[in-house]
Chains A and B, each alone.
Chain A
């Protein structure tokens, strides 16, 4: 589905990713765990083409193309979605209008007719209700004045509406109370269809109790140092990253 090959990447002068290799399989849930500063967020930013990250070597192959050569919006239209760790506030831009614009950009790309405002609102209301969000999410401005939990749910809302193929979740569980964590996890689980690929970046194992990863990768000092199944989560919990690194 996606092949990340020997990626080297810098933020400013610091090399963060140092020859990272990772293959994401179609229909699977990959979890990335690792200590602070290991390069987890940098990896997700490199995949979506974030301006902070300068990729200095390697390639990311997806649908037969090296996506590193594509603009961020192109990558998005090819079905790559990032749920941001800290979604930015965009004052004055209506949430529903924003999401319909994104939705129609995708529909256009796929040669489908645009969805009108009424049809779209119906779709959006259905998702909002299912996620346990307040109805005013339609009329409020994008992330403006949202609580931490509302922002994360809004990311999941966007994911469910846009139906992407590759989903990167950057610390989707941080700052969530247990109800929000459940709602977010349910949203993610609804998206699993045997075709979509997930890359779940997390510090903690708790979200992995809800979304059952197929693979767990340990990222340390800019490289994947260990790959295993869900059992690796338990091992990490018991022994910490240090032990794993020594193991590698």
Chain B
């Protein structure tokens, strides 16, 4: 077995690839004011929101799609996409949920029922754009925690939404953020009141289901002074022929002494071995550590999508605030990822940690792109960055683009980067001890990702390991 042996294995069918038959209420493809008004009306939105969307649309129309990322794909025809699709009837209880949908969740290994009973996780499940079911809201309500869909929040908590939406990711922040501002269909809203520690992991699962439907989620999480919340976002999508666009926006606000932990497992359909049919994932995620001693921690496991463009970032405004970014990004088959983070140090004695693990297999291309920016007043700021790449086979690629801008002479910045390869010799060694080839690959890969997985909540870590195995199945052999 030569290096080719390592090169062989990558073509197992995407196991979460399936489509359930649910009646959709979909607008025709295209994007204009009428479509925006349709979406807004469908969702019974207040007028102020409709006007904001239209403003965003017009700004977006004047913007240019960015091309600086290390990504190659056929241009997206934004007028060929349908911007809204929702199950026709919004159910009030689990009993009313379409059994087909429940079946789909079950196939994903995340039955709502089971989660409700066993996991102690409140689930705001998004099935194509509209929230299907929110559980545990009663328990949360007692603590004053708001955990609902963003559409509900616009109606019931308009003041909070008005104050914070677009405050971290402005409407015109970038091309995809502007698009999202115009057409976002649903998403999650979380508010944790002062001094409250959210007693459970908050979790949302997203699914893309309707053919040719873009998915534009919008999430807003506000942790008030001294509060804590851990939020898990997990994604998976059914198999599909055409490329689908996903342009989500997430905004996090951490006040004084507050902490937000945001974990993501991203497993959108990656496309076939040529990259056909996978999800284009252009995401803007940003958090602001607004108050002193606040902390925002991003952990992501990116195994899906054919294209990933994503840089969860922290603005460290409050003195002594902390930003963290832990990432595992896997690109297999023909997947491409350009992902990383931005740590913007504004306040004094702010600290940030970046641990990025990129895994490339088959023809996968993986780029780390990270910015560490130290402002003139960020006295005593510190950053540590570690970017490791693992290559499986000889056809894939790993790239690192670290950017550093420091206006504070005393800031401490450390950057470490490594690139290694799963060698035939390592695989053979493990196999000679009776360990199967697939177990051997997964053992080596998990060893590589250890530090990041340690950051994930327990159940999520288990899921992440399984996903990683699934993604890399067939990448050697």
Residues on A close to B: CB < 8 A?
A: 48, 50-51, 71-73, 76-77, 81-82, 84, 87-88, 90-94, 97-99, 101-102, 105-106, 109, 141, 158, 162
Contact = CB atoms under 8 A, between A and B. Distances in A.
Contacts of B428: 50-51, 72
A88 B429 contact: yes
A88 B444 CA distance: 12
Contact of A48 (B1, B432, B444): B432
Contacts of A81: 432-433
Contacts of A82: 432
A87 B450 CA distance: 22
Interface in B431-477: 431-437, 439, 443-444, 446-450
Nearest to A72: B431
Contacts, number: 77
Candidate in A72, A88, A106 with the most chain B CB atoms within 10 angstroms: A72
B147 to A, nearest CB: 36
B429 A90 contact: yes
A98 B443 contact: yes
Contacts of B448: 91-92
A105 B428 CA distance: 16
A141 B435 contact: no
Contacts of A162: 433-434
Contacts of A92: 444, 446-450
**What is the interface of chain B mostly: helix, strand, loop, or mixed?**
helix
B433 A51 contact: no
Closest 7 CB pairs of A and B: A92-B447, A51-B1, A102-B433, A93-B447, A76-B434, A72-B431, A105-B434
Interface centre among B420, B424, B431 (most CB of A within 10 A): B431
B423 interface: yes
Contact of B435 (A48, A51, A73, A88): A73
Interface residues of B, number: 26
B117 interface: no
Nearest to B1: A51
B424 A51 contact: yes
B2 interface: yes
B434 A109 contact: yes
A87 B447 contact: no
Contacts of B1: 51
B434 A98 contact: no
A93 B443 contact: yes
Given A77-B434, A92-B450, A101 B439 contact: yes
A99 B435 CA distance: 10
A51 B8 CA distance: 14
Nearest to A144: B447
B5 interface: yes
A88 B426 contact: yes
The CB with the most chain B CB atoms within 10 A, among A73, A94, A98, A109, is that of: A73
A91 B420 contact: yes
B433 A90 contact: no
Nearest to B433: A102
A141 B447 contact: yes
